[in-house]
Amino acid sequence: MIGEGACDNPFLARSVVNISGMSFGAISRPAIQALSRGAGEAGCWMDTGEGGLSPYHLEGNCDLIMQVGTARYGLRNPDGSFAPEKAQEIARFVKAFEIKLSQGAKPGKGGVLPGAKVTAEIARIRGIPEGEDSISPNRHPDIANIDQLLDRICNLRDLTGRPVGVKTALGDESFMTLLCEAVLRRGAQDAPDFLTIDGGEGGTGAAPQTLMDHMSLPIAEALPMAVDALRDSGLKDRVRVIASGKLVTPARAAWALCTGADFVHSARGFMFAIGCIQAMRCHTNTCPTGVATHNRRLQRGLVVEDKAARVVNYVRSLNREIDMIAHSCGCRHARELGRRHVRIVETAGRSIPLDVLHPGA
Ligand SMILES: Cc1cc2nc3c(=O)[nH]c(=O)nc-3n(C[C@H](O)[C@H](O)[C@H](O)COP(=O)(O)O)c2cc1C
């Protein structure tokens, strides 16, 4: 359960593995249709990403998490300000809201959907002009500190009756420390209902190579940091944790559960399921597989029924094999997995801050 006791409509999430945020805009209409139908049949949720809610998300009757990005696509007035009545309208169709602060592939950077990909339909759904670059700022204009973040969470939860979570990448312990301190000061009712922790290895439709390669902590460091902060503050039962960042195989997903995640998000795992060949052209509108293009001719390569079945297979196989790993450890269910079940082969890859390694400079 997500948001139990904290909102009018808590969300009973049925699958450990779920579809991470990928916006309609970054990926195509048939890609969204295949993911929605696959998620509906497999019983997992689909996160909309920051591009708003389209009719195609609704086709599969799946559980949906509506992401609130910095540009608030789908939830904005023409001047870009937050539109509460749109949030209330959308709450009829989605199970929860996720306020996105950052993602691992490009922390501290906003986003651009190039004008070539801003079709009339995408412009209408996002609430922006057609054919012009669609720019997400690097931060929420009305969230400058943790208290304003918690105010926004409480406001959206009251407005919609749905659980509200936060997605972020981490650079060090400070965000979690500030968050837990503020929640303990204000009371657990003001906490986010879930935290989506995205590792630096997370994917994206478009980001500067330097940020993709070098910025934000990998999930192997960020996840234990987030879980430990919640546990130490007595908030682990209140706040569900979703982990993402190359968690595409059962073993990686099981590692996340052992570390303390409640759910796993995958973006590129599902892109592969619907035919992505990593042509690396998401930003050019010429994706040869139809996954990340709005060119109708190229989209014909993505047959929705066929790919929806692959999404179902992927979710079912991952969940089944995570359970198999759990059984092999002597657990009845994957949720019984704990840190004692994992051994990590240590490498030189573990990082510590430079000013701890070389203090005083
Ligand atoms: C094509 C594509 C589009 C994405 N769009 C969004 C988005 O709109 N909002 C967001 O928070 N993350 C977005 N992401 C990032 C994923 O939600 C997730 O954080 C990251 O990809 C996880 O890593 P994975 O691909 O290894 O699973 C996108 C990723 C991809 C590959």
In terms of Cβ atoms closer than 10 Å to its own Cβ (0-12, 13-18, 19+), residue 302 is buried
In the chain, the largest separation of any two C-alpha atoms, in whole Å, equals 61
The answer to whether residue 8 sits within a structural domain is no
For the chain, the domain total comes to: 1
Pocket of ligand 1 (CB under 6 A): 20-23, 26-27, 49-51, 67, 100, 103-104, 167, 198, 202-205, 244-246, 266-269, 271, 282
**How many angstroms is it from 26 CA to the middle of ligand 1?**
10
Q: What CATH number is attached to the domain comprising 300? A: 3.20.20.70
Pick the closest to residue 121 from 202, 29, 43 (CA basis): 29
Q: Tell me which amino acid residue 356 is.
A: V
Pick the closest to residue 316 from 8, 15, 54, 19 (CA basis): 15
The answer to whether residue 5 sits within a structural domain is no
**How many angstroms is it from 14 CA to the middle of ligand 1?**
21
**How many angstroms is it from 21 CA to the middle of ligand 1?**
5
Select from 20, 53, 270, 291 the residue to mutate for testing ligand 1; criterion: most ligand atoms less than 8 Å from CB. 20
- pLDDT tens for the 361 residues of the chain, in order: 999 999 999 999 999 999 999 999 999 999 999 999 999 999 999 999 999 999 999 999 999 999 999 999 999 998 888 999 999 999 999 999 999 999 999 998 988 888 888 999 999 998 889 999 888 899 999 999 999 999 999 999 999 999 999 999 999 999 999 999 999 999 999 999 999 999 999 988 888 889 999 999 999 999 999 999 999 999 999 999 999 999 999 999 999 999 999 999 999 999 999 999 999 998 889 999 999 999 999 999 999 999 999 999 999 999 999 999 999 999 999 999 999 999 988 777 778 888 887 887 6
Domain that holds residue 46: 17-357
**Rounded to an integer, what distance in angstroms lies between the CA atom of residue 96 and that of residue 120?**
27
The answer to whether residue 3 sits within a structural domain is no
Token pair listed for 28: 């195509």
Q: Tell me which amino acid residue 141 is.
A: P
The answer to whether residue 208 sits within a structural domain is yes
Verdict on whether the full-model pTM lies above 0.85: yes
The answer to whether residue 107 sits within a structural domain is yes
The answer to whether residue 10 sits within a structural domain is no
Nearest residue by C-alpha to atom 21 in ligand 1: 203
The answer to whether residue 12 sits within a structural domain is no
The answer to whether residue 298 sits within a structural domain is yes
**How many angstroms is it from 78 CA to the middle of ligand 1?**
26
Which atom in ligand 1 lies closest to the alpha carbon of residue 203? 21
